[in-house]
Structure 1
Amino acid sequence: MASPQVFGDQTDVPESADWWDAAYLMLWGSNVPVTRTPDAHYMAEARYHGQKVVVLAPDYNDDAAKFADEWLAPHPGTDGALAMAMGHVILKEFFTDRPTPAFADYVKRFTDLPFLIRLRERNGSYVPDKFLTAADLGQEGQEAAFATVLVDARTGEPVVPNGSLGFRYSDQGQGRWNLDLDGVDPLLTCLGPESVPVALPRFDGHGDGVLQRGVPVRRVGAHLVTTVYDLMLAQYGVAREGLPGRWPSAYDDAAEPYTPAWQEAITGVPAAAGGPHRAGIRPQRRGVRRPFHDHHGCGDESLVPPRHDLPLVPGADDADRLSGRQRGAAGRTTSVRRSAGRSPGGRSWPSGWTGRARPGR
């Protein structure tokens, strides 16, 4: 729901019907029932499918009221800090502490993380410069200055893969405007014996606004380079052994960006976000299951275990998530179950409750 932050294009979003296929949905910067009213029924249907839904909004809007298992309410204008802390956790847990092959393969094939960035010296440190291109390696042609370079992990040599901007607008690039790596295995990190300190921007207004953190480097011709991935880990504060600089000691280190504890002081969102009953939003008791057509062979196993410790509350994640028309479409089975004192999800309703309103309302 926040894909413009990722893709840089306001209209480059998935089809709303695809929400059904997700196991975990985040509604960020979007109030679906109000601003995307024609799509709202897709969210109601996806919610009834069993997805975990988290809403990020400073106000208790329609998304939070109708769809959310959890509502995270950052102070207005501070959700960028929350996003940085989320990135810190994801990169640390799924790329450095416990590398996940599916994630690594994805970013190698579909992102710029393996591409090489030149570093230039400034004031006794280094700062990121431009992408290393084919022109820097001595190649000629109108596309060379825009054809970016990465290292093939199999050979250790720099290569110019398909798909970069250099192949989009030139005759020489005909047939190479695609992501076919043609057997190349992009090297994601330059981690090795050599590293240098890099000056990176700090966005929280502390000190001189500069972070000094180390990145691994290698030399390609006359150029000192690192990868976009290595720079990203440094920016997010994900430490690796042997690299110079100041790094967070743990998630609860509030002094160093961009940890969960650091963002809490800015956004007001608890560093341990995810606990039950936050802001009056009930986590779903039945857990979250994978989509039926899972692509990693994990079948229908539970992603988020059921919360059997939570009370049986009518409407927490079943019937009251649906409109009257959708409840009617569920057929006579729903009516029979209700008359027998059971919800569509197998819950016990209070005696005498008809389903037309929540008890006490």
Structure 2
Amino acid sequence: MSLNIQVTRTQHPKEKPDPNHLGFGDFFTDHMFVMNYTEGQGWHDPRIIPYAPISLEPAAMVFHYAQEMFEGMKAYKAPDGRVLLFRPDKNIARANNSNDRLCIPQIPEEDMLQAIKAIVAEDKDWIPEGKATSLYIRPFIIATDAHLGVRPSRTYQFYVILSPVGAYYKEGLNPVKIYVEDEYVRAVKGGMGHVKTGGNYAASIKAQMIAAERGYTQVLWLDGVHRRYIEEVGTMNVFFVIDDEVVTPALNGSILPGVTRDSAICMLKSWGIKVSERQIAIDELFEAAKEGRLREAFGTGTAAVISPIGELNWEGNIAPINGGAIGEISQKLYDNLTGIQLGLIPDTFGWTVEI
């Protein structure tokens, strides 16, 4: 281990929340990991300290030019007491890909993994053990130079905070209703769509609010050039079961390369199910629904794992999917992915990492 992490433990431990009423992202553990970057010195001063507000200059560049990245992953408590991470190498590689696009100094992969393991080990008593619960892990980096002017910052702070969570959507594993957005654009090729940065999500809020007002849980984004090709759901990659084939949009530079997306593809192929990564036009999808060939649809993501889709609305055209019920493939993926994550079934893929 290359990081010499200093630990300062809280003198005022918090009361842990009711595991049956966690929601998502509302509670935070006793500690956080922090590490600084200074140009010419590199990453330094790794430490675990009590969770507390961050003090920054009002001119800190993160506030004005949005130079920041974040990741999302989870820790799970297995029945035998082991604490497991799920494919952290994929999240760490994606974090450094985001850093590269945002001109943020990369963190050695082994150092980031060590930091994540250390903070999770420190607050492992916060990992909930109720149904559909886990400890959400949020690593992020912010630009901290006090400077008004567009350039890369020369100083940064890297944090890891933890949050005990329940189901991401209030529907849980019940199918959600999705509104197809054809006015606003989330991202385009050459932009930031393939990285984890707050600007992508800020750009999605307006459409998300409109969808919610119309009774829909999430937005399905179309490409920003033709407004025709499906890209992703607001917080998830998306899959469709058409006839006997599972289809998902190909990664094209404006779609986030999801870790759960990749895991689902690997798992489906291991079962002998045909999976195609390609362009999918929204009119093609609705035609398949009209002909009764759209059997299932589901989103994939760290937060929700698998989220079945029960209805699509595109320009007032409604496409009910599988009678509004979860489909066989969606259910099997959820059971197997969460089974591996929770240590309930053998991990034949070698995806879990024990802390």
TM (norm. structure 2) is 0.26
Bigger strand fraction: 2
Q: Which structure carries more relative contact order (alpha carbon 8 Å, separation 6+)? A: 2
